[in-house]
Homo-oligomer: A and B are copies of this chain.
Amino acid sequence: MSKVRVFAPGTVANMGCGFDVMGMTLDGVGDVVSVEVSEGDDLEIENRSHVELPDDIEKNVITPAVRALMAAYGEKRMVKFVVEKKISPGSGIGSSAASSAAAVYALNVALGRPFTDERLVEFAMEGEKLISGGTPHADNVGPSLLGGVVLLRGYEPLDIVRLPVPDNFCCSVAHPEIMVSTRMAREVLPKEIPLRTAVKQWGNVAGLVAGLALGDVHLVGRAMCDVVVEPYRKRFIPGFDELRVKVLAAGALAMNISGAGPSVFTLSADMDVAERVGEIMREHFAEQGIGSDIYVCKVSNQGARVLND
């Protein structure tokens, strides 16, 4: 019997302009999943979190991710997971992705690492399919498994590019207590967009990737803006535009919606600024009678990893 305990970090998908193709890894916030593998042929998932999870394992994101891995592995095993969720579902920092990333990472280690980390991304994406209604995405599971900034160049076939992040990127995330499902956030998006708007967006994507590669934090800040999706999704977030004015005045480089929202994140080049911005975000939502969880952390080059205890 093999037992492994794994931490997989929270992630910020989209990063402004990089809708559906980019995500970055947070430091210190994430889910922990343990696995026990033994002879047999079954799957069990036990929840040891304060967070409620569906009793029916068919509704748990871990299930399709693990089934995809086991199908590729080709042998049968009794697989038992214990989940300690630290990220609330719907928080916009890749809650479901952290669980499925941790699960497939742990299972791969327990089986003797038959698969590469890139291959694990494909398995974990099956979990994302379950919640997004069919369309596969890797902009949370990619960075949660691999760390750093992850680009999804294409999906057919999956083409993953990992970009290391400069040391000094600090992220402040506010998760306001508003419920916006990924499905709802997708439904407000237009099916078609003006070509001119699309050109603006990919100019920003080019600038963002160049800024990361060149270590130019100010270019990253200028480029990290979303003219396509944000106009539709910011309506779910009370006072979004005013909040941005406040955090930029406090020294943040950029503010955007994290993933499908309603969380917002800012990027700063300094931890003191990131802390102050976190407070501004908390106050902003509090003024509107909305509680919020605030995470202030570095952007990390480290993805999922085994915990030794």
**A65 CB to nearest B CB, Å:** 22
Knowing A159-B222, A219-B161 touch, does A206 contact B22 (C-beta < 8 A)? Answer: yes
Known: A161-B210, A222-B159. A153 touches B198 (CB 8 A): no
| Closest chain B CB from A287 CB (angstroms) | 32
A199 at the interface (CB under 8 A from B): yes
Q: Which residues of B contact A208 (CB under 8 A)?
A: 206
- Check A203 for interface membership: any CB of B closer than 8 A: yes
Q: Which of A17, A202, A207, A222 has the most CB of B within 10 A?
A: A202
Any B CB within 8 A of the CB of A120: no
Q: Assuming the A-B contacts A192-B194, A193-B193, A228-B195, are A206 and B159 also in contact, with contact meaning beta carbons closer than 8 angstroms in the complex? A: no
Instruction: Decide: A21 near B213, CB < 8 A? Known: A193-B193, A207-B153, A222-B153.
Output: no
Assess whether A121 is interfacial by the CB under 8 Å rule. Answer: no
- A200-218 interface bits toward B, Cβ cutoff 8 Å, 1 = contact, 0 = none: 1111111111110110000
Chain B CB within 8 A of A18 CB: yes
Is A163 an interface residue, CB under 8 A from the partner? Answer: yes
The CA-CA distance from A211 to B151 in the complex, in Å, is 11
Question: Chain B residues with Cβ under 8 A from A189's Cβ?
Answer: 195
Which residues from B are CB-within-8-Å of A205?
202, 205-206, 209
Interface string of A18-42 (1 = CB under 8 A from B): 1111100000000000000000000
Q: Are B151 and A210 in contact (CB under 8 A)?
A: yes
Write out the residue numbers on chain B whose beta carbons fall within 8 Å of the beta carbon of A50.
Answer: none
Residues of chain B within 8 A (CB-CB) of A19 are 199, 202
Q: Does A97 contact B (CB under 8 A)?
A: no
Minimum-distance CB pairs A-B, first 8: A213-B213, A153-B207, A21-B203, A198-B198, A209-B209, A202-B202, A192-B192, A202-B205
- Chain A residues proximal to chain B, CB less than 8 Å: 17-22, 151-154, 159, 161, 163, 189-195, 198-211, 213-214, 219, 222-223, 228
Q: What would 13 more interface pairs be, CB under 8 Å, given A153-B207, A153-B219, A191-B194?
A: A21-B206, A153-B223, A154-B204, A154-B207, A161-B211, A161-B214, A163-B214, A192-B193, A192-B195, A193-B198, A201-B202, A205-B209, A213-B214
Q: List 21 A-B contacts (CB under 8 A).
A: A18-B202, A21-B203, A21-B206, A153-B203, A153-B204, A153-B222, A153-B223, A161-B214, A163-B210, A163-B214, A191-B194, A192-B192, A193-B193, A198-B228, A202-B205, A205-B209, A206-B206, A206-B209, A209-B213, A213-B213, A213-B214
